[in-house]
Amino acid sequence: MILHFFGADSKTTNIHSEIAIWEFFVSCIKIAVYKYITLTKKEIMARKKKGRQTLHSTASSSRTCSEALSMLYDEHLKPVLDRLPASAAIKATLGSEEGLLLLHEHLVILSRTFCKYSETPFDSDALDDCILAGVLNVKQFSAFAADFEFLGMSRSEKNMTLKDLRQVFSASQQDQASNEAETQLEDDNDHQELMVFPEFVEAVARLGVLKYATSDDDEKHMVSIQMALDRIKN
């Protein structure tokens, strides 16, 4: 069914095939039509056979493709987008003078934490060598994020799901490999399965914004990042 949505030939193409952005949009339309129109009509036919047709069923049977796509967006895409921190805003905050000073103040603890979860020897007198040698995979990052999530958690804080953590990991990836361990990978895209230190720093910022920010505001982002760094330090 998924192969069908993505327009792939199941005899020659597997589920790991890549699609262009326009193909993704077309797939969203196909999924919406199948979920909210095709399946609904099948349910209505089943109800008719049992003599249980309702007014709601009649209204659902006349649903348009546009209405189905709107429902898919409202129910499944928008909730994810609402929780995903804005990439441009976070990068701008980290690249500001205030953001760089904040990161510099926490450089040692960030480096120590990165080395701990990447299982890389830590040497405070050779920070550059330590962080250049290490990489985190998704499992190691999830272990860090799990400790981050539950350390001193209060009722007022937002809970993060495994999906949130994987989105943070993906959103923090750079386009090009920047570490010797990454560049040794055979596939050009395989480096995105690993996280180097600069990506880890951005991921920490994203975790902070995701967990603490109450609005999409630069000042709020800075406060949230500070809270995330303090959480690691403690």
pTM of the model: 0.60
| ∠ Cα 206 83 200 (to 5°) | 20
- Output the 3-class SS for the chain: CHHHHCCCCCCCCCCCCCCCHHHHHHHHHHHHHHHHHHHHHHHHHHHHHCCCCCHHHHHHHCCCHHHHHHHHHHHHHHHHHHHCCCHHHHHHHHHCHHHHHHHHHCHHHHHHHHHHHHCCCCCHHHHHHHHHHCCEEHHHHHHHHHHHHHCCCCCCCCCCCHHHHHHHHHHCCCCCCCCHHHHCCCCCCHHHHEECHHHHHHHHHHHHHHHHCCCCCHHHHHHHHHHHHHHHHC
pLDDT(183) > 80: no
pLDDT(187) > 60: no
What pLDDT shows up at residue 107? 92
What pLDDT shows up at residue 55? 47
Q: Are 224 and 209 in contact (CB under 8 A)?
A: yes
What pLDDT shows up at residue 201? 92
User: What average pLDDT does the chain have?
Assistant: 77
Q: What integer is the mean pLDDT of 171-199?
A: 65
Percent of all residues in the chain with a pLDDT value above 70, rounded to a whole number: 68
pLDDT in tens, 39-73: 888 777 776 666 655 545 555 567 899 999 999 98
What pLDDT shows up at residue 51? 65
Predicted confidence band of residue 231 (pLDDT cuts 50, 70, 90): confident
Better-predicted residue by pLDDT, 192 or 132: 132
Predicted confidence band of residue 215 (pLDDT cuts 50, 70, 90): low
Better-predicted residue by pLDDT, 91 or 107: 107
Better-predicted residue by pLDDT, 192 or 206: 206
Give the contacts of 222 (CB within 8 A, at least 6 positions apart): 93, 98, 99, 102
Q: Are 136 and 110 in contact (CB under 8 A)?
A: no
Cα–Cα distance, 227 to 10 (Å, whole number) = 48
